[in-house]
Structure 1
Amino acid sequence: MHTNNFKILFALSFTVFINTLSFAQDIPKEGRTIDRSVKDSLITKTDSIPIPELSEKQQDSTLTDSIKPKKELLEHIVKYHATDYTRFSQKKQQLYLYNEAKIDYGDMKITAGDITIDYIKNTVYAKGITDSIEGYTQKPVFTQGTNVVEPDSIIFNTETQKALIYNSKTEQGEGTVIAETTKKENDSVYFLRNAKYTTAKDLEDPEYYIKLRKAKIVPGKKIVTGLANLFIYDVPTPLGLPFGFFPQSEKQTSGVIIPVFGEQNNRGYFLQNGGYYFAISDYLDLAVLGDYYTNGSYGIRLDNTYAKRYRYRGNVGFRYENLITSERGFPDYAINTIYNLRWSHSQDSKANPSSRFSASVNLGSSSYYRNSLNQTNAGSFLNNTLSSSISYSKSFQGEPQVNYSVTATHAQNTNTETINMTLPTFQGSIGRMYPFASKTGSKKGLIQNINLQYNLRAENRIQTTDSLFFKKEMFDDAIAGFQHTIPLTTNFKVFKHFAISASTNFNEVWTFNTINRSFDPITRETINEDINGFDSYRTYNFSTSLGTTIYGMFNFEKEGKDRKIKAIRHVIRPSISYNINPSFDKYYDSYEVVSADGLTSTDVEYSRFEDGVFGSPNKNFSSSMGISVSNNLEAKVRDRDSTATEPKKIILLNNLNFSTSYNFAGDSLQWSPVRVTGGTQLFKNKMSVNFGATLDPYALDNNNNRIDQFNIDNGGSLFRLTSANLTTSWSLSSKSGDKKGKNKNDGIQENLRSGGRADDLFGVSEDFANQQIKRDEDEENTPGELYNYKVPWSLRIAYALNYSNSRRQNEISSHSLMFSGDIELSEKWTFGASSGYDLKNAGFTYTQLRFERDLLSWRMNFSWIPFSARSSWNFFIGIKSSILKDLKYEKRRQPDITL
């Protein structure tokens, strides 16, 4: 650079001149003060425009400096720690950390055995420690944000945020990526070479993995790969793809559902349960699935789940199948369409305490579960009833409380194909009112306990069949009506131990459909004429009851003896009731039936209300007395636990009830049969037993008809056993088997949604591909001992016996045994079965055999229905993880269903 001497001399001269003529604020000499009252003579006038004061920040020239400040050596504060030593080299500008070293730098954390920080190159090098005994230990763990990498060694640049990672293990979604070399480009992109992707738990020796030659990872979003193929225990398989895409979203995402391939003898090859899953939002989803058979048959399934925390949750499912039998032109060619609609909705109790909405819908074709080709319905094959209920209820707090509810119901018999519906049923009530009770204190006596309430029920009832369901014809025979009820009751005690209750009930029915019945002598048929218009009737009745409770204690303890049975307590609750129902024959009419020769005629009575919603009023006067006795037996026994201070209570009989009645107004057969019912729990409540019997005191004539003569007076016993029933259910399991049985099974839940049983006695769904059976992954399976290996098992038994002898038939009307069970043959092998035996007809009922093999990261299932019209089998093997659940193999033999 050339120097200008003239400019330098001029600058020095100007500086000297300024310093000579300039004044400075000197420190005044001692003794002299500055007179503040003296004004500057030069200032004669104040400027009207105020001069703004400039802040120090505004006057700072660095704000307008065009040269940016130099970037600091490190952007964040480095926090480090090591157990053995921490050493800094001034010459190399490097920091050395050894043994349990740890570094925190911004959102980056590194722990390792040996860490070196280079302040010149802005790099961090981390590796483990080699020990002669334990080998390579304290491998690095690199954490940045939510991403965790566990390599053998890592080099990280703090300035560019790039890194080279060797032999790393990092979790991506439900799986783990193991890579020889990983290049971290930035916070959101990683490049890998010779990597393995697996969901196995044992990462040192994974039972399977997908080898990725080259891959790109965007953490939390996706993995994009080049050539990839499946390895099983390091053995390559021909299953591979030239490129692949693995979504890694932490939220639900939409995607394709891979179908299942197979063959059905009557309908050819098929694709089943394939479609698309729509993750609409965090509260709503939709799965659209379809089936297609090469003969033209097809099926559609829509499954939706929705939920809102603390408000409600539910699911909706619709299934439709168009089934073609044989081929067009053949005599057995037929087309059958079946469908099923399910909806379940439940409201959280905290959402709105005063109102509630719920729904449980299961309706459709009566033959749907019998004819459906989809293996999802295997456990619902024996369903013979479909029912639905949608209800909304609301209550208004106050005195008295007012409640109302609106309900739509549906009941369908799949054998007779009859459907009964109420669209809708309205029920309203005004709570109990005590007009004579005191405003303070408890209610006492006959008068103060008098209470009444008002109930209203309105129904629109429809009875139809499958063929008319959802058609306008189903509403042609709909009937509607209203029922008003006002009960007036009271209760009080007499002689301290006897409770008396009395009630009278007023009932009024409104209807809009009545009939007029007549006899046509020409066609000799009874003609029913429907009359539309408002009509009503009113009835009333009276009833009272007297009851008490008797306690009895049988003590078996003796001084000096420790008996097993300490005492037995017997509780008896006898009750006598009286009911009187007047005759309302004024609502009855009659029509004349003339004989064929015209010589005789007969009057036939009928009520114009008998086809109404609430039936016809009582015609015959009734005055009857009811007698009932209920019993309860409990025992106190010695507790097996020696530390227990009190005897243990066990139930001998939950209930043992006897009931009968006597009709004072009857001219014959005044005593009703004695009904006996009872039940108990055995074996620590694992076995329930319920029984019942009907005992008739009257005899039969030669035609097996009841006569007005006691059976004992006819040479028989005091009572005739006319019917009896016994049902038992027993659940047995080992301790470990009982623990495993607590896990929820999606197949059982599918049975419940289809209106079936809450157990597997009728089998379970065979949709192995789409049901993810939840297990406790944190529970470690410890191997059994060699000579003390316990096999977990569970067994469920249901037994039913019905006996009939009302007309001396003396027969077992039904006798069946159902059973299901599971046994864990080894830690990974499970066998299950559901079957039954008809003891009356000597034959096995619907049977399903199930095998399951836990293959660590894989699951294998085999289900077999050996006989019946649903004879079939299904084999499945696939990965448990939901991210790779489409990596599966399924083979099945469909049932040969002909419609």
Structure 2
Amino acid sequence: MAFQKPSHTFTKIHLKALHTNNFKILFALSFTVFINTLSFAQDIPKKGKSIERSTETVTINADSIIAPELSEKSQDTTLTDSVKPKKELLEHTVKYHATDYTRFNKTEHKLYLHNEASIDYGDMNIKAGTIVIDYTKNTVHAKGITDTINGYTQKPVFTQGSNVVEPDSIIFNTKTKKALIYNSQTEQGEGTVIAKVTKKQNDSVYFLKEAKYTTAEDLDDPEYYFRLRKAKIVPGKKIVTGFTNLYIYDVPTPVALPFGFFPQSEKQTSGIIIPSFGEQNNRGYFLQNGGYYFAISDYVDLAVLGDYYTNGSYGMRLESTYAKRYKFRGNVGFRYENLITSERGFPDYARNTIYNIRWSHSQDSKASPNSRFSASVNLGSSKYYRNSINQINSGSFLNNTLSSSVSYSKTFLGEPSVNFSLTATHSQNTNTETINMTLPTFQGSVGRIYPFVPKTGSKKGIFQNINLQYSVRGENRITTTDEFFFKSEMFDDARAGFQHSIPLSTNFKLFKYFSVSASTNYNEVWTFKTEKETYNAAEGETETETLNGFDAFRTYNFSTSLGTTLYGIFPFEKDGKDRKIKAIRHVMRPSVSYNINPAFDKYYESAEVVNADGLTQGELDAIYETVNLEYSRFQNGIFGSPNKTFSSSMGISVSNNLEAKVRDRDSTAKEPKKVVLLNNLNFSTSYNFAGDSLQWSPVRMSGGTQLFNNKMSVNFGATLDPYALDNNNRKIDKFNIDNGGSLFRLTSANLTTSWSISSKNGKARDKSNDRGIQENVRSGGRDDDMFGVSEDFANQQFSEEGEESDESENGLYSYSIPWSLRIAYAVNYSNSRRENQISSHSLMFSGDVKLSDKWSIGYSSGYDLKNAGFTYTQLRFERDLKSWRMNFSWVPFSDRTSWNFFIGIKSSMLKDLKYEKRRQPDIQL
């Protein structure tokens, strides 16, 4: 870029005289007559006497013929000039502006712009208080304005492309595109470079002298920075420095490097993950969570992490996340640990290998509306979370179950529609180490069919509402333990089968206010394994033999129900009185049902008595009377066995809902406020007409409600038995009230509540996106912090975006302390055999307290009211150090007593600059 003085532009006009050449015109006319005389017309000549060729030689001198001269137009050298035209002086349009004045000095050949001056040229823009353009040196000098009131203001802002530089002053050469920048501040990635002198070599290279690199927000007084004595910057790619060391509040630290490399790529890149170090009492010193990150593509990545302990223990983790917009997203992980306790040769020496596999996959609803694939896998060693010594699993060691599900479903549209799904499930009890799996489960169904519905109009009446469906379910069920998991033995006791169901139902109105429904269901079960029982009289025990082969049984039943809805309003208002409670609304839904289940005793038979030699018929009859030898060959099938006894029962249920209308505290409200008193209050029981005794079943009661503006939820339930117990605590066919007791006998009860509260000036912290909570959920734990959270501080952000500060505009902290509290209470009562005891009674709580704008405390604990002891307790302390963060986690008691201290930089690019100290629990395998 160069600037040209406007007065140096001229327009040159070239004048040339015009004349004629008479000799050349005369020669051209003579030559034309000569050619016409000796030429023939373009037709075929008649045949005649041939003309003999002349042998006379004519000699013509080359210089005797003068070639005709080309016209002046054809001689224009600009049409064939091989020299390219000179490049224009200015490639782009120059736009400049200033608020006070724009002045051009012809003597100095300088253009002066003052106050809010700006220049736009191509992709370059300069804004400053004063700009001076020197046309002789092709330079632009930009600087701020100094006055006695505001000081130095309107500092230059130099923008070229995506690079923005904010210096005190700048000198830019428009011809060489080089620049000298003084006291500049340039954003590079997540950080800022503050340099005294910067030399701009070209658009992609900068050289710096005596610079600072920091991610602090306060650039005038950064709390930390790296001093760069000499550095080279390639914007958007890298910063390469010579000797550099860390300064904290201008105090040098021994953290230094002979040279430094700071990547500045805007895309994710591969790199080393620095491990955490520490010491554990029975395994020595360790390095944890170190490895390498592979940025495979924009859609998938991979982190390979490892742990190593000086006693020989080690661990490995593979974590990968993948996503494709509008298609799917998910993550997969594999964890393995080889743990050694003590030393080889000692009696307490132990070696244990544990592993865990996790996979989560979700499909975008827009990807395929008629099919869906999803996965949630969490399987492995039952003792993995309990014995793992990696800090990332600290919030999951209380998990009692591991579960997995992988499913694919598809719908074929039509009339009727057809649906099918394939699902593989896994359920693992970490206490008993029992594993139940279905590999796979197949489900298919045909949409509801109305054979009697008219082609036009709505469905009305008992016949038009008749509908039927078809569904099939097939399972391959496996039950195994940790010992045989992923081994061939796990398939030895696998059971497979299919269940076909065809329900036929209808519904209609009766007497306008009653709803009636009736249905019958046909069931057919296919199985590939049955059983045969024999009674060994010599051993006095029953022996079971498994038979392979196809077999089936068929059942059917009938049911009908009658229900209605009753509404009642109880007003409390009286004339002339404005009461707080206006009215209470009661909604009651009673229902009566009748069910018939026939007896299919044809599928039952008596076991054969073996080793009966020497036994008389009377002795055999005595065996049949004293030992129940009747069995069904389908009794251990995956879909159960057919009903043996005839059942004709009536079910009774009542559901209730209570709401109140109260006076709104808002005086401008026109309508009363609706308050829910009881979400539901349900009672249910049944009476078996075909039973010979104990015909009434216990009354089941359940209910729930929300209190304190839906901040507290309460759920309760109870079982009431009408029959009495004998002296041996066995139920007898006699009502409890007839036995000298009450109408019902309370056999069990339960109550659970959860309450989330916070201070008026604070909000309950939403932890749904917290990485520790997500880790708990993926591991099969709770979706809150009641049992603690992961302690992997190095891989999570300290503060959430958008978090509001409690600091006021004048810099003073709010006098009230924001806090939040989450409480969960549960109690269970048992009295089925007069034990009259509280089977479990616990209180769990967690919360956060923000002591100041920078200090916060988190806690998770509980108290076992039955056993009088605290449950797993975790205390968390966090300190916001502006660009740094500090965390301290402490488990004060239990066999997992431990603590973890961490301090590091928030920036994801510099997160490996950290210090971490731990005391891990001494876990015995």
Same fold (TM over 0.5): yes
Q: Return the alpha-carbon distance in structure 2 between the equivalents of residues 339 and 257 of structure 1.
A: 22
**Are 1:751 and 2:751 counterparts?**
no
CA offsets 1:73-122 (integer angstroms, 9 cap, x no match): 33322111010001112222211111000111111111000001122221
Partner of residue 623 from structure 2, selected from 598, 601, 608: 601
Partner of 2:5: none
Contact conserved, 2:756 with 2:764, CA < 8 A, in 1? no
Q: Return the alpha-carbon distance in structure 2 between the equivalents of residues 799 and 281 of structure 1.
A: 47
Q: Return the alpha-carbon distance in structure 1 between the equivalents of residues 446 and 461 of structure 2.
A: 23
CA offsets 1:380-434 (integer angstroms, 9 cap, x no match): 0100000000000000111101000000000000000000000000000000000
Q: Return the alpha-carbon distance in structure 2 between the equivalents of residues 507 and 16 of structure 1.
A: 115
- Give the residue type in structure 1 aligned to 2:119: I
Relative distance call for 1:63 and 1:385 in structure 2 (3 A) is farther
Relative distance call for 1:72 and 1:652 in structure 2 (3 A) is same
Percent of matched pairs sharing the same residue: 78
Partner of 1:494: 510
Contact conserved, 2:195 with 2:208, CA < 8 A, in 1? yes
Partner of residue 444 from structure 2, selected from 428, 434, 447: 428
CA offsets 1:822-869 (integer angstroms, 9 cap, x no match): 000000000011000000000000000000000111110000011112
Relative distance call for 1:132 and 1:709 in structure 2 (3 A) is same
Partner of 2:427: 411
Partner of 1:633: 658
Relative distance call for 1:791 and 1:704 in structure 2 (3 A) is same
Partner of 1:877: 903
Relative distance call for 1:96 and 1:780 in structure 2 (3 A) is farther
Q: Return the alpha-carbon distance in structure 1 between the equivalents of residues 660 and 324 of structure 2.
A: 49
Give 1:735 deviation, angstroms.
4.4
Q: How does 1:480-491 map to 2 (within 5 A)?
A: 480-491=496-507
CA offsets 1:726-769 (integer angstroms, 9 cap, x no match): 00000001244326436731101111111110100000000000
Q: How does 1:677-826 map to 2 (within 5 A)?
A: 677-738=702-763, 740-741=765-766, 744-773=769-798, 775-776=800-801, 779=804, 781-783=806-808, 789-826=815-852
- Give the residue type in structure 1 aligned to 2:133: I
Q: Return the alpha-carbon distance in structure 2 between the equivalents of residues 60 and 739 of structure 1.
A: 86
Partner of 1:673: 698
Q: How does 1:110-121 map to 2 (within 5 A)?
A: 110-121=126-137
Give 1:41 deviation, angstroms.
7.0
**Are 1:894 and 2:920 counterparts?**
yes
Partner of 1:4: none
For the residue of structure 2 that corresponds to 1:769, the secondary structure is helix
Contact conserved, 1:817 with 1:836, CA < 8 A, in 2? yes
- Give the residue type in structure 2 aligned to 1:831: I
Give 1:898 deviation, angstroms.
1.3
Q: Return the alpha-carbon distance in structure 2 between the equivalents of residues 787 and 313 of structure 1.
A: 42
Q: How does 1:279-678 map to 2 (within 5 A)?
A: 279-592=295-608, 598=615, 599=619, 600-602=622-624, 604-678=629-703
Q: Return the alpha-carbon distance in structure 2 between the equivalents of residues 55 and 738 of structure 1.
A: 93
Contact conserved, 1:743 with 1:774, CA < 8 A, in 2? no
Give 1:236 deviation, angstroms.
0.8
Relative distance call for 1:404 and 1:47 in structure 2 (3 A) is farther
Aligned residues: 865
Partner of residue 154 from structure 1, selected from 170, 179, 183: 170
Q: Return the alpha-carbon distance in structure 2 between the equivalents of residues 842 and 458 of structure 1.
A: 48
Relative distance call for 1:167 and 1:448 in structure 2 (3 A) is same
CA offsets 1:4-41 (integer angstroms, 9 cap, x no match): xxxxxxxxxxx9996565779xxxxxxxxxxxxxxx97
Q: CA RMSD in A?
A: 2.2
Q: Return the alpha-carbon distance in structure 2 between the equivalents of residues 875 and 260 of structure 1.
A: 11
- Give the residue type in structure 2 aligned to 1:526: T
Contact conserved, 1:741 with 1:794, CA < 8 A, in 2? no
Q: How does 1:42-121 map to 2 (within 5 A)?
A: 61-62=77-78, 64-121=80-137
Give 1:157 deviation, angstroms.
1.1
Relative distance call for 1:832 and 1:55 in structure 2 (3 A) is farther
Q: Return the alpha-carbon distance in structure 1 between the equivalents of residues 570 and 848 of structure 2.
A: 43
CA offsets 1:660-702 (integer angstroms, 9 cap, x no match): 0000011001000111100000001000000001111111110
Q: Return the alpha-carbon distance in structure 2 between the equivalents of residues 766 and 582 of structure 1.
A: 59
Relative distance call for 1:19 and 1:269 in structure 2 (3 A) is same
Partner of residue 173 from structure 1, selected from 175, 189, 199: 189
Contact conserved, 1:593 with 1:604, CA < 8 A, in 2? no
For the residue of structure 2 that corresponds to 1:447, the secondary structure is coil
Partner of 1:36: none
Q: Return the alpha-carbon distance in structure 2 between the equivalents of residues 16 and 446 of structure 1.
A: 114
Indicate the larger mover: 851-860 or 593-602.
Answer: 593-602
Q: Return the alpha-carbon distance in structure 2 between the equivalents of residues 443 and 244 of structure 1.
A: 79
For the residue of structure 2 that corresponds to 1:752, the secondary structure is helix
Give 1:337 deviation, angstroms.
0.3
Q: Return the alpha-carbon distance in structure 2 between the equivalents of residues 695 and 593 of structure 1.
A: 43
- Give the residue type in structure 2 aligned to 1:769: A
Indicate the larger mover: 126-135 or 595-604.
Answer: 595-604
Q: Return the alpha-carbon distance in structure 1 between the equivalents of residues 93 and 760 of structure 2.
A: 56
Partner of residue 203 from structure 2, selected from 170, 176, 187: 187
CA offsets 1:283-311 (integer angstroms, 9 cap, x no match): 10011000000000000001100000011
Contact conserved, 1:692 with 1:724, CA < 8 A, in 2? yes
Q: Return the alpha-carbon distance in structure 2 between the equivalents of residues 629 and 438 of structure 1.
A: 36
Q: Return the alpha-carbon distance in structure 2 between the equivalents of residues 593 and 572 of structure 1.
A: 57
Contact conserved, 2:820 with 2:848, CA < 8 A, in 1? yes
Partner of 2:871: 845
Contact conserved, 2:765 with 2:820, CA < 8 A, in 1? no
Q: Return the alpha-carbon distance in structure 2 between the equivalents of residues 660 and 455 of structure 1.
A: 30
For the residue of structure 1 that corresponds to 2:462, the secondary structure is helix
Contact conserved, 2:805 with 2:853, CA < 8 A, in 1? no
For the residue of structure 1 that corresponds to 2:96, the secondary structure is strand
TM-score normalised by the chain length of structure 1: 0.93
Q: Return the alpha-carbon distance in structure 2 between the equivalents of residues 810 and 561 of structure 1.
A: 49
Contact conserved, 1:541 with 1:582, CA < 8 A, in 2? yes
Q: How does 1:25-40 map to 2 (within 5 A)?
A: none
Give 1:787 deviation, angstroms.
9.5
Partner of 1:236: 252
- Give the residue type in structure 2 aligned to 1:161: K
Partner of 1:31: none
Q: Return the alpha-carbon distance in structure 1 between the equivalents of residues 249 and 896 of structure 2.
A: 38
For the residue of structure 2 that corresponds to 1:883, the secondary structure is coil
TM-score normalised by the chain length of structure 2: 0.91
Q: Structure 1, unaligned stretches of length 5 or more? A: 1-14, 25-39, 49-53
Q: Return the alpha-carbon distance in structure 1 between the equivalents of residues 132 and 79 of structure 2.
A: 39
Give 1:343 deviation, angstroms.
0.3
Q: Return the alpha-carbon distance in structure 1 between the equivalents of residues 740 and 241 of structure 2.
A: 93
Q: Structure 2, unaligned stretches of length 5 or more? A: 1-16, 27-31, 43-69
Contact conserved, 2:534 with 2:610, CA < 8 A, in 1? no
